[in-house]
Structure 1
Amino acid sequence: MRKLSVKLVLTAVTLVTSGLFFASGADPVRAQLSKDLDAGRQLVETNCGDCHGVGETDASPHRSAPPFRLLSNHFPMDALEEAFADGRIYSGHPDMPEFIATPEQLDAIIAYIASLQG
């Protein structure tokens, strides 16, 4: 069931970022997606930003930590949620801190990371 929610989030992010979703700001789906993206951005800035570039153009402060906008070059995005949930994100930097996210936080993080992919 979790894989389905990721596919829905990724589809929504794709529609919004590609300009195919022309709903007004009052649309509840778009409002929720915006809220999720903002929550995901805040979570990664707080928990990951010391090592990873977490924005659209910033470099990673830690040389071994890839910027989040390039994660799809290293890892299939459709498998990212499962890997986070199972603790199978392999770090190139051994000092990566542990971060355990709730399912809701995980959805927001995945939505934000997906929105950064080119």
Structure 2
Amino acid sequence: MKRTACLVGAACIGLALLPVAPPAAAQGSAKAGAALAQKHCASCHSIAGTGPSPNPSARPFRGITKDWPADAIAEALAEGIRIGHGAKPMVDVDFTIEEIADLVAYLASVQR
């Protein structure tokens, strides 16, 4: 009996020391992401599924994940890194985690 109690106690301690899985990635709303893209991105990028970008050097959203995976874009936006903008900096926006998930959902919806 004493041995069983020790084994159960050791198992509980072992389970408590296991790393906890990170929370699942937030599921964004493509509709909310479209509104954010219109507000913050459309002055330079084509945010729709077709057409050229207003700024010829700004990549259209419909192909942006060919060069940068969606998770890398999300991480870069969360860290405040302005990827791929060269000499023309991206507008200074501090997106929330929910807004980033919305933008990534929208990006996924317009990929070709």
Task: Please give the alpha-carbon distance, in whole angstroms, between the structure 1 residues aligned to 2:75 and 2:89.
Answer: 22
Residue 92 of structure 1 is matched in structure 2 by 86
Task: Please give the alpha-carbon distance, in whole angstroms, between the structure 1 residues aligned to 2:75 and 2:41.
Answer: 18
Task: Please give the alpha-carbon distance, in whole angstroms, between the structure 1 residues aligned to 2:54 and 2:88.
Answer: 15
Task: Please give the alpha-carbon distance, in whole angstroms, between the structure 2 residues aligned to 1:84 and 1:95.
Answer: 13
Computed over aligned residues only, the root mean square deviation of the Cα atoms, in angstroms, reads 1.9
Residue 66 of structure 1 is matched in structure 2 by 59
Q: Quick check: which one's helix share is greater?
A: 1
Q: Do the aligned partners of 2:30 and 2:102 also contact (CA within 8 Å) in 1?
A: yes
Task: Please give the alpha-carbon distance, in whole angstroms, between the structure 2 residues aligned to 1:93 and 1:50.
Answer: 16
Gaps of 5+ in 1: 10-32
The reply on whether 1:40 has 2:33 as its aligned counterpart is: yes
Gaps of 5+ in 2: 1-21
Q: TM-score, normalised by structure 1?
A: 0.67
Percent pairwise identity: 34
The size of the alignment, in residue pairs, is 90
Are the structure 2 counterparts of residues 39 and 62 from structure 1 closer, same or farther at C-alpha, using a change threshold of 3 Å? same
